[in-house]
């Protein structure tokens, strides 16, 4: 590619243009429609558009004669932004109007970041190599033409490219996971939800399931369920959160197995206490626990006369009408929930 005459156009993350080694300054696009014309042609298949298509996109409400005059003025302005020294009447290397067809850089070398991103994405999916995925993702500098967010002609391609970007991140996370690198898989998924509504959903998954299951869910479930739908289904978390292809310890494969493992670590008296505490919802005061679970003197102890371990309960403070009350809550999932799911029988 001849670097001295190559036309390079950035559309992802913002609009920038280079002609050879010269950067076209943003201030050069004084006529906004001149920039819009270049953007339209850069996104068009083959970088060609019929004149009527351009008129419909850029001057939809104008009189046909007025719209045609505006197109010629805009084309003249765009040519001189790209080629400031272009003589009057001389042909442009980059913007042609032949008959009713407008073409962008039909003869001169042309590079557009959108096309490079899509080509790199296809290559990554062919090789399945993390390095290839990273190379493709590096080309996605941001959403398509953010300064044209409300232009109808840009919206479909913007959504399409963003979905491709998210899909590549999920596929890369899966590749990291297959190669036994869960830390990088988590970092990749965090990139996928950065700035998205999905961020809160992923944080909730972390809280409910731990980091391993968050990866499995995001990679395997988000293709079928929106984050909002997934959040609703988390009410049945024990059935939903399951990683069937994970080769690690059973307690890392599903939330139910994690809870079974955690419950097995409790001593017999702690399990008895835990079952009795199931009558409470959302925590309890020490006095209430002593009344329900205490010995003859109202003390909540295990068989050795000691207070229950902090691995079973933890304190919290709650303000109620101006007074502070120390409350206690279970450090593990409620026994009532376990009984309801048939885990403890």
Q: How far apart are CA 37 and CA 67, in angstroms?
A: 13
Q: What is the pLDDT of residue 74?
A: 97
Determine contact, residues 218/192, Cβ cutoff 8 Å.
yes
Q: How far apart are CA 79 and CA 86, in angstroms?
A: 8
Q: How far apart are CA 258 and CA 294, in angstroms?
A: 29
Angle between helices 211-221 and 182-193 in degrees, nearest 10: 60
DSSP-based three-state secondary structure for 254 = strand
Q: Would the pLDDT of 310 be above 70? A: no
User: Exposed, middle or buried, 48 (CB in 10 Å: 0-12/13-18/19+)?
Assistant: middle
Cβ neighbours for 164, distance < 8 A, ≥ 6 positions apart: 117, 118, 121
Determine contact, residues 44/36, Cβ cutoff 8 Å.
no
Q: What is the pLDDT of residue 163?
A: 92
Q: What is the pLDDT of residue 290?
A: 77
Q: How far apart are CA 306 and CA 302, in angstroms?
A: 6
Instruction: Quote the DSSP letter at residue 283.
Output: -
Q: Would the pLDDT of 63 be above 90? A: yes
DSSP collapsed to 3 states, 169-182: HHHHHHHHHHCCCH
Q: Which of 231, 236, 181 is nearest to 205 (CA)?
A: 231
* Residue labelled with tokens 């626990």: 289
Per domain, the residue ranges of the chain are: 31-108, 118-256, 266-340
Cβ neighbours for 146, distance < 8 A, ≥ 6 positions apart: 13, 14
Q: Which of 209, 119, 204, 216 is nearest to 176 (CA)?
A: 216
| Strand pairing category for 323-330 and 284-285 | antiparallel
Average of per-residue pLDDT across 108-114: 95
Q: What is the pLDDT of residue 133?
A: 97
Say how many C-beta atoms besides its own lie within 10 A of residue 143's C-beta. 18
pLDDT digits (tens, 9 = 90+) for 91-102: 999 999 999 999
pLDDT digits (tens, 9 = 90+) for 187-243: 887 788 764 544 544 554 554 445 445 545 544 445 555 555 555 554 554 555 454
Q: How far apart are CA 31 and CA 16, in angstroms?
A: 15
Torsional sign, CA 330, 333, 339, 344: negative
| Strand pairing category for 101-104 and 95-98 | antiparallel
- Global pTM exceeds 0.95: no
User: Exposed, middle or buried, 2 (CB in 10 Å: 0-12/13-18/19+)?
Assistant: exposed
For 199, the token pair is 């961020």
């Amino acid at each position: 590619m001849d670097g001295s005459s190559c036309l390079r156009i950035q559309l992802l993350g913002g609009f920038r243009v280079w002609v050879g080694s010269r950067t076209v300054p943003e201030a050069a696009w004084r006529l906004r429609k001149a920039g819009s014309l270049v953007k339209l042609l850069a996104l068009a298949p083959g970088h060609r558009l019929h004149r009527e298509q351009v008129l419909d996109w850029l001057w939809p409400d104008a009189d046909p004669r007025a719209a045609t005059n505006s197109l010629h003025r805009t084309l003249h302005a765009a040519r001189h932004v790209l080629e400031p020294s272009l003589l009057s009447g001389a042909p442009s290397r980059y913007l042609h109007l032949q008959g009713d067809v407008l073409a962008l850089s039909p003869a001169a070398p042309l590079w557009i970041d959108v096309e490079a991103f899509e080509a790199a994405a296809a290559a990554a999916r062919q090789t399945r190599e993390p390095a290839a995925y990273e190379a493709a993702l590096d080309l996605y500098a941001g959403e398509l033409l953010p300064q044209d967010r409300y232009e109808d002609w840009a919206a479909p391609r913007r959504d399409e490219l963003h979905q491709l970007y998210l899909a590549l991140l999920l596929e890369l996370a899966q590749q990291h996971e297959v190669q036994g690198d869960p830390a990088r898989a988590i970092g990749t998924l965090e990139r996928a939800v950065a700035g998205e509504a999905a961020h809160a959903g992923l944080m909730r998954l972390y809280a409910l399931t731990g980091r391993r299951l968050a990866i499995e869910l995001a990679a395997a479930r988000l293709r079928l369920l929106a984050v909002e739908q997934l959040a609703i289904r988390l009410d049945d978390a024990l059935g939903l959160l399951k990683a069937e292809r994970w080769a690690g310890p059973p307690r890392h494969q599903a939330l139910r197995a994690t809870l079974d493992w955690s419950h097995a670590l409790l001593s017999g008296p702690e399990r008895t206490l835990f079952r009795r505490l199931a009558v409470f919802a959302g925590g309890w005061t020490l006095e209430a626990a002593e009344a329900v679970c205490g010995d003859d003197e109202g003390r909540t102890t295990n068989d050795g006369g000691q207070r229950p371990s902090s691995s079973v309960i933890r304190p919290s403070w709650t303000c109620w009408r101006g007074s502070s009350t120390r409350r206690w809550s279970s450090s593990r999932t409620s026994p009532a929930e376990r009984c309801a799911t048939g885990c403890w029988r």
